[in-house]
Structure 1
């Protein structure tokens, strides 16, 4: 059973498989914050500026990891990006054309039999709801709830306020990005993988399998347990109150390959939403999830080192966070003695 997005049932399974923040597309931070967005009725009724990029955009250059004559080229993806952006990088096409292997971004897979899946699916009904039929007014601090109301009116007027803050934050962010002319999908990666298929490269995925013996019971326990997701919800509100214009700037920076702006990105606060899942008592105490992140990271590094050893040229795709984070995968390769060169 592969974990996908973005519908609510898929997001419920997402919670169980720890595919949190990177897939969310909330990979932005306040950074250089512009003036706050007004929450007045007049602003709510205004038609938001749309981004339409009609020229082909190359995105950023690639990171180069090398040892001797063998090279691993890594292309960094980012989200959100301009809607209807036409992306094409001749540099990426050329590297794929002369490479022998492709390493996709790491992913997770929830290992369940067909029978287990059939039993678990009914229990997912209502997994997005607050325990004990609580509403957002009941679970949020008063000042956070007050900040939510104008954004609800602007982006999610039909929301019934019975979902957990984490799920509402996801919906709210997606609706706001759509209005702002930004998209949170993975169209660039799809185009990359189309090129990989055309060149018939060997594909070596990094898939961490989460083995859950009784998924139905796990879902039931998850539904009853509280989530520390107020920080996630509050951060999402902050982004939409103050950061829409900065998101546009960063989206265009990626599209144009403006590496100086990209280097200034701060990914630290995006962890608040993934941590709300990781730190839930149900998942924290389940054997399948203990140490999952570290094991996943080790698997990708092992695949990268093996590819570097056997190939003259290898091509890979990673989220930009893993390339820029001082504790990310790129830093780990540098620590292991590989030469790492950032794009100009």
Structure 2
């Protein structure tokens, strides 16, 4: 259910857009790095003699890269607590058994109401830009033409990044959790739980409702037309730990428009999910401050946007009086 109805929202609600500079005008074809790579250094958040070390993660990352950091393992080995990436947990009433019978409704919810196609929903200029990208990355599939713009954008982005030698799930969070288990360190995953009491009714209403999601597809097309080479450079920079290169390559995150489309939907609003971003931020910041208070050494994983962004979680901790130091 998370992938089809709220996947664009729940999987990335923690991330914020980076402030956009002028886009790079011309980049040579980039060779994506492979093999074992160390990733970036760690940010240090401290108050007194208590320290929280933070690893910033990035998506997408090189597909053929394997991440291995001695620095991260060394810190986790001496830490008293590890904060995993914050997330939203969707609890469907009735559990997994109910979920099986929701599948037909889920599939229907991906599509435009009244059997409209993208050609009918999108402005003509945007549809003309969508078509060559769709042919290049998705192929001749007709099913995607029935999708709502937000889900068509998601499929296009996934296929394009894969074609560029990148993968959206870099599995860094999983590796961190394995290291914590290896060294027997307590783990905590800050999360908020959202309970969907009547999922079948919610899906039925969602399938009929309108989504203001054309801007989501437009910004996805914008990014794939102009930013794929820079996306590869960012992935390489993260892999080799080049923080300055990451700072020099901020971007307009199309996912922000996609998240906003979901959050503004009437069905999402009526079920108390319109403020997920703010609630998740408050949950993580509370967990981080408690962890810093109770442990001399701790470790956390956050999206790089929350580490580098002027309005990210680390900027908020700095404004609350914590010392925040970038890696040397």
Q: TM-score, normalised by structure 1?
A: 0.86
The CA deviation string for residues 243-272 of structure 1, in whole angstroms up to 9 with x for no partner, is: 111111111111111111212323555311
- Separation (CA, whole Å) in 1 of partners of 2:126 and 2:304: 30
1:150 to 120, 132, 135: 132
Equivalent residue for 2:65?
A: 85
Check the 8 A contact 1:27/1:270 in 2, yes or no. Answer: no
Kindly state the Cα deviation for residue 13 of structure 1 after the two structures are TM-superposed.
4.0
- Separation (CA, whole Å) in 1 of partners of 2:22 and 2:305: 15
Kindly state the Cα deviation for residue 202 of structure 1 after the two structures are TM-superposed.
0.4
1:132 maps to 2:114: yes
1:285 maps to 2:265: no
1:52-67 aligned at under 5 Å gives the runs: 52-54=33-35, 56-67=36-47
Counting matched residue pairs gives 323
| Cα RMSD for the two superposed structures | 2.5
The CA deviation string for residues 92-130 of structure 1, in whole angstroms up to 9 with x for no partner, is: 111111101000111111122326545544421311111
1:103 to 75, 83, 105: 83
**Structure 1, unaligned stretches of length 5 or more?**
1-8, 38-47
Kindly state the Cα deviation for residue 12 of structure 1 after the two structures are TM-superposed.
1.7
> Greater CA deviation, 102-111 or 267-276?
267-276
- Separation (CA, whole Å) in 1 of partners of 2:243 and 2:310: 16
- Separation (CA, whole Å) in 1 of partners of 2:16 and 2:168: 5
- Separation (CA, whole Å) in 2 of partners of 1:240 and 1:123: 31
Q: 1:51 to 1:266 in 2, by over 3 A?
A: closer
Q: 1:13 to 1:226 in 2, by over 3 A?
A: closer
1:220 maps to 2:204: yes
Check the 8 A contact 1:278/1:284 in 2, yes or no. Answer: yes
Check the 8 A contact 2:32/2:236 in 1, yes or no. Answer: no
Check the 8 A contact 1:65/1:341 in 2, yes or no. Answer: yes
**Structure 2, unaligned stretches of length 5 or more?**
none
Where has structure 1 moved over 6 Å in runs of 4 or more? 23-30
Q: 1:116 to 1:27 in 2, by over 3 A?
A: farther
Equivalent residue for 1:40?
A: none
1:32 maps to 2:17: no
Kindly state the Cα deviation for residue 193 of structure 1 after the two structures are TM-superposed.
1.4
1:51 maps to 2:36: no
